[in-house]
Structure 1
Amino acid sequence: MTRTGRPREFDKERTLERALELFWSRGYGATSIQDLVDALTLERGSLYGAFGDKRRFYLDAVKLYWEVYERHLITTLDTTPLLPALREILTHPARLDELISDMGVPQGCLVGNTTAELVPHDSEATKIVTRSYRRFTDIVADALRRAQAAGEVTDASSPEAQAQLLLYIVQGLSLVSRAGLDRSAALTAIDTAVDGLRA
């Protein structure tokens, strides 16, 4: 159906949130401009005017995803004891069945998906994911440093090395989850990793 008339008013922030859900469930390459127009009930002109092309729209969605995730990460890890909070962070990819949206099931971590789909060929995407991974390890290392000082977490290795290991675990789980995940086996592996941090 051809849309005519004046472009409709819309909430830009809410529109970006809805686009994030669509990109997250389908991926960058599999989401067309027409998919966005249909799902967001926007005129093409309004979409281009507000967000630019599909690539710019996607990268803005990835940035929003990380902003929300980082706030959650900081809040979750600002607790004592730390190890149960770390377990919650690590189990997120193993709980995808709890994250169903009306646009489909989100697949893994959007930052990890961007790494798989756009890095290293897109320099801006590479900068976004590199910064996101660095922020993850910085935030987690700070929390681990506090937990080491409190005697909860082993000091056999540095907080930075421990945080890097946890990044590899959470991103590996996110990637594997896209192909289907044995939830029980994943949770057992996570428990093993968390136990390995215990003092």
Structure 2
Amino acid sequence: MARTGRPRAFDTQEALARALDVFWSRGYAGTSVQDLVDELAVQRGSLYAAFGDKHGLYLKAVELYARRNREQLEAMLESGPVLPVLRRMLLEPAALTGAPDGTEGRRGCLVGNTTAELLPGDEAARALAAAAYDGFITVVSDALLRAQAAGEVTASATPEAQAQLLLVLFQGSALVSRATADESRLAAGVDAALDALRPH
């Protein structure tokens, strides 16, 4: 009888979720393979066998993050007025990203962090980030289309163009919120942008 080898002694999905948290906290460059071995409590060989190299594991972690974010965004926007949900998302990026509360929660968006850290030299990361941004635009466009039909949002621009604006605003908000504790200034900017979406 042929030997099939020993099964992996760890849950790969749980390990991937933990790796996501490590990368999100420390960044790609700031996370070593030894950090991952220690934090995931796995052998280096098992890590490589399950995920390939550090870069491969990172991309899988970002993909998981993007999928969770899209599901959360869809759930947030599926019913009720759209603009209050968008305002909360823009002022509290953690409501979408799932970052912990407090100072530790100011991690920004992992997709945005990946764009800033790995691009333009990493084509695989670029494609992954672009797909995540497209997913955001698709979900938000659908919600804005409903909001336009309900008269909540102006129809002076297409939902896709409005969603693109909100993507840029969300990424900027997630980044700026990491550097400042003055939420009133951020709120003023967000409210100005959202006022432009209201019918006049």
TM-score (norm 2): 0.87
* Structure 2: runs of 5+ lacking an equivalent: 1-5
Distance 1:25 1:94 in 2: 13
- Secondary structure of the residue aligned to 2:93 is helix
- Partner residue, 2:125: 125
Distance 2:21 2:180 in 1: 19
- Partner residue, 1:183: 183
* 1:179–1:111 CA distance, 2 compared to 1 (3 A): same
Amino acid at match of 1:163: A
Alignment size in residue pairs: 191
1:141 aligns with 2:141: yes
* 1:7–1:36 CA distance, 2 compared to 1 (3 A): farther
* Structure 1: runs of 5+ lacking an equivalent: 1-5
**Deviation above 6 Å: which 4+ runs of structure 1?**
none
Instruction: Give a deviation string over 1:147-195, Cα, whole Å, max 9, x none.
Output: 1011111112221111111011001112223334422221232222222
- Partner residue, 1:17: 17
- Secondary structure of the residue aligned to 1:178 is coil
Amino acid at match of 1:113: N
Distance 1:139 1:116 in 2: 23
* 1:82–1:134 CA distance, 2 compared to 1 (3 A): same
* 1:107–1:143 CA distance, 2 compared to 1 (3 A): same
- Partner residue, 2:163: 163
Identity rate, percent:
53
> Is the contact made by 1:21 and 1:106 (CA closer than 8 Å) also made in structure 2?
no
Give the RMSD, CA atoms, in angstroms.
2.2
TM-fit CA distance, 1:131: 1.0
* 1:128–1:8 CA distance, 2 compared to 1 (3 A): closer
- Partner residue, 2:107: 107
TM-fit CA distance, 1:81: 1.2
Distance 1:94 1:145 in 2: 25
Distance 1:118 1:52 in 2: 18
